Amino acid sequence: MIPLSHYLILSATLFAIGGAGVFLRKNLITILLSVEIMLNAVNLTFVAFGRYAGNLDGQIITFFVMTVAAAEAAVGLALVIALFRHRESLNPDAFTSLKW
């Protein structure tokens, strides 16, 4: 059987990869993809702890996290489309008009 720590280290790695993607990439769509990686890492942690504790709460929370991730991806991508129509660019550095 696989110790719980293995699952936790795996999800920590995935979370860090997602976080690195959010900070390091300069493409709006890749940033959104990295956010999805982070949400998945969190899902894995929940399910692993739920199994470890022996009840269903981990899976229930996962249900809600997935739903919220779907809603957030939909709205985020709609925003990306609207932004692209204005500036013809997917680089977040192109949207600087609110800087003083």
Partner 1 sequence: MPETVVFYLFAGLAVGASALVIGQRNPMYSVLLLIASFGALSGLYVLLDAPFVAVAQIIIYAGAIMVLFLFVVMLLNAPKEDAAEWDRTHPLRVPGVARWGTLLAGLLIVQLAMALTAIRDLGAPVGSRTDALTVSSVSDLGRVLFTRHTFAFEATSILILVAMVGAVVLARRESEQ
79 lines the binding site for partner 1 (CB under 8 A): yes
* # chain residues binding partner 1, by CB under 8 A: 71
CB-based contacts of 25: which residues, under 8 Å, 6+ apart?
A: 31, 34
Instruction: Give residues 32-71 in contact with partner 1 (rule: CB under 8 A).
Output: 32-34, 36-37, 40, 43-45, 47-48, 50-56, 58-60, 62-64, 66-71
User: Which is closer to partner 1, CB of 58 or CB of 100?
Assistant: 58
What does residue 54 show for φ and ψ, rounded to 5 degrees? Answer: 85, 15
Cα gap 79→71, rounded to integer Å: 12
